Structure 1
């Protein structure tokens, strides 16, 4: 969870503050307890702010603890210039929180402070309620979660294996813009490095990985040509190679071009990308590492934010087809869906029992396995960062993954590419709106409704939110 700073702002008159101090402290203690109960780490200001010097010094100490978000708390009338000084002493996002206890004018203090911040253009959000109100804690949690996701980008490194794939402009971003807006550095890595490392990778581990897949998967469909044990081990060695490069170069997330060089002369990266995005491999549980196929930079960036917000693996898919008669979208890519999405279980065996490894199709002469399954049903948050005239926007919507009986699933997958993974999605956005306005061919998803946190992400990044629903 997030690290939250809490600073209580008071009245600047000595006699008034002396009267109010115990009241403020009691409310602050209750709020801090509520936030800790919600799972957050809380950094509390070492004094109640009742002077201009304390406003700056207390805020600096809280900021030095590297908090994700700072709560300025108003339980009484508070001098607004204390807020201005405290805000100037921290760069973290601000949440102004007012107590709704009618015995003291906390709401007045918050509104006066918020208006002053508006006048200087300092972005903030506001919340109000009793300090032990779960709904208030949730509102603060949403802002803190978003702030943690945004702050995690700064100082991070994206590893781009290869360049632009097949002329795909939406997969390439301006590295200067990334550095300026998100604080992300881009490490360029030639795909030849991947090939060299794969050839030298541990053959025994590659064999162990292949045997683990053969043991747990629904099927590994060797055909003696496009998919052989040797080709599957080459894909696993590619995973080992990329994993080593990630560790050596301290990459936080990455993308692999793949097409056409690797897919025509070496092997597809589907197995590599699927297991990087998975929370496990044959060695047991591990941290997920966001890896986007076709080195899609904005796709990987979207996935990294969604991962931080939802704390789950993130789906990467093409918007392959719209079944207008069913109002269902087929989100299908060339095999890189994390196997976790097959059942969304903590037990990899449950997920892999729904996964087939099929020989690659004619697009990819080098062969290898595609990682095929149908995503498990459930509510999903879907979206992507896209650019309009060079300016970033977050395109966001809610949806539902659906699964059907075996016969219906077969009819649907056979209409596109049955060897690839599919997620059948009913989007909370009209088909005409989506196809007219969505700014890329790739889309991303995580389980649950995380729209509130993603809205906060857009606000904190100061980028446009383009949210769609049936009502909009």
Structure 2
């Protein structure tokens, strides 16, 4: 959830303020209570804004608390220049909120303030309603969650492990553009660091992790492409990534993998899956976005989605369209977080549906492919792509489908059975998708989060390319 600043703007006449102060306080109390009940942290202005100096001082103190969204609250007529001063002291996104009680002209105050902001070109959003209205609180939450996701990018660092994979232009972004537009620095780290550190990783933890996987998941050793030694090498790679993340203070990452590691060391499937998971063999942890093939725009999309939902984010290739079922096969090596197998808070429930199969011929170094079929449910699918160098958010709504074992097996055999699969029904014609989508990788999170992503586009100043059924 987000951190929201609430500042009530009032009338500048002392004798009026004496009569309306309690009225404003009552509405502010209800607003704050509703926002906190929805899970947000609220930073209240220390006093109602009744003068120009108070406007600046209160807004500066609220801004200093690092709020994601500042709500300027109008329960009464408010002097518009107070809004202008408060807005100038509030560097982040602004939302003007009016009550709808006709006893006081709060709506008039909001419109006067909003018009003044329009005149100077200060972007803002306007909402109105009663603090007990859940739709209003949800709308504020959408704005705040999007703002939190966007603001979290600034000052962050992306760790790119390796360079461009197999000639993929869509996996490489301009570091100058990232710094200028999003405030993200990129740290370049060689893949040899994974090899070196994996070999030095604690042997007892590698053994413990292997046994944990053998107990909780379904491990299919074949004595060639998947052995206990190879599985421990993959676990060591995960441990190496944890060290790099901690030492370099990396907020999100990507691993090139192909072709060097996949041909001569081991695949990074275990590392990528469990970095994205909310747990590992040591217990619960925060998901860490890690994109396979060092896909920078993929990782950036995932980081935004994680900022909105707090959940792991799916990463997949758009592998095949099953026209007979109107279902896409979203499938990519072992990249899917195991959480998607059942989306349970209990790792054992998810891992019971996970199979570690020997890697296929693409990856001669071997290791485990982290296979499962994603659990069904409503999904938001998205990807940041670039058109003529400019970012756009390509956005879709859909759901993951569930089929019986016979159908699952038949569909998996058409692609790569050993890899993880999500059967996605996307609410857009296949011809539209294939004609417009600007990458081979796509990302998804549970639920309908299109409203937040539309707001993200607005806040980031990037275009929205939304795919629909029409």
Q: Which bracket does the TM-score occupy, shorter chain normalised?
A: over 0.9
Q: Report the secondary structure of 2:164's partner residue.
A: coil
The answer for the alignment partner of 2:185 in structure 1 is 185
Structure 1 residue 195 displacement after superposition: 0.5
> Counterparts of 1:466 and 1:106 in 2: how far apart (Å)?
36
Structure 1 residue 14 displacement after superposition: 3.0
- For residues 252-295 of structure 1, the C-alpha deviation after alignment (integer angstroms, 9 at most, x for no partner) is 11000000010011000001100111111111111111100000
The answer for the alignment partner of 1:18 in structure 2 is 18
Q: Report the secondary structure of 2:70's partner residue.
A: strand
Structure 1 residue 65 displacement after superposition: 1.1
Large movers: runs of 4+ above 3 Å: none
Structure 1 residue 126 displacement after superposition: 1.3
Matched, 1:84 2:79: no
> Counterparts of 2:375 and 2:64 in 1: how far apart (Å)?
43
Structure 1 residue 12 displacement after superposition: 2.4
Matched, 1:176 2:184: no
Matched, 1:414 2:402: no
The answer for the alignment partner of 2:143 in structure 1 is 143
Q: How many residues align?
A: 470
Matched, 1:113 2:116: no
Q: Report the secondary structure of 1:103's partner residue.
A: coil
After alignment, is 5-14 or 272-281 more displaced? 5-14
> Structure 1: which 5+ residue stretches go unaligned?
none
- For residues 204-240 of structure 1, the C-alpha deviation after alignment (integer angstroms, 9 at most, x for no partner) is 21111111111111x2111111111111111011011
> Counterparts of 1:32 and 1:375 in 2: how far apart (Å)?
38
Structure 1 residue 392 displacement after superposition: 1.0
The answer for the alignment partner of 1:461 in structure 2 is 460
Structure 1 residue 399 displacement after superposition: 0.9
Structure 1 residue 15 displacement after superposition: 2.9
The answer for the alignment partner of 1:104 in structure 2 is 104
> Counterparts of 2:57 and 2:279 in 1: how far apart (Å)?
45
Q: Report the secondary structure of 2:159's partner residue.
A: strand
The answer for the alignment partner of 1:363 in structure 2 is 362
The answer for the alignment partner of 1:329 in structure 2 is 328
> Counterparts of 2:199 and 2:247 in 1: how far apart (Å)?
18
The answer for the alignment partner of 1:234 in structure 2 is 233
- For residues 47-104 of structure 1, the C-alpha deviation after alignment (integer angstroms, 9 at most, x for no partner) is 2112222211111111111111100011112222211111110111111101011122
> Structure 2: which 5+ residue stretches go unaligned?
none
> Counterparts of 2:312 and 2:425 in 1: how far apart (Å)?
20
> Counterparts of 2:394 and 2:104 in 1: how far apart (Å)?
42
Matched, 1:348 2:332: no
The answer for the alignment partner of 2:298 in structure 1 is 299
The answer for the alignment partner of 1:440 in structure 2 is 439
The answer for the alignment partner of 2:36 in structure 1 is 36
> Counterparts of 1:463 and 1:121 in 2: how far apart (Å)?
18
Q: Report the secondary structure of 1:126's partner residue.
A: strand
- For residues 126-169 of structure 1, the C-alpha deviation after alignment (integer angstroms, 9 at most, x for no partner) is 11111222222111111111111111111111110001101101
Q: Report the secondary structure of 1:31's partner residue.
A: helix
Scaled by the length of structure 1, what TM-score is found? 0.98
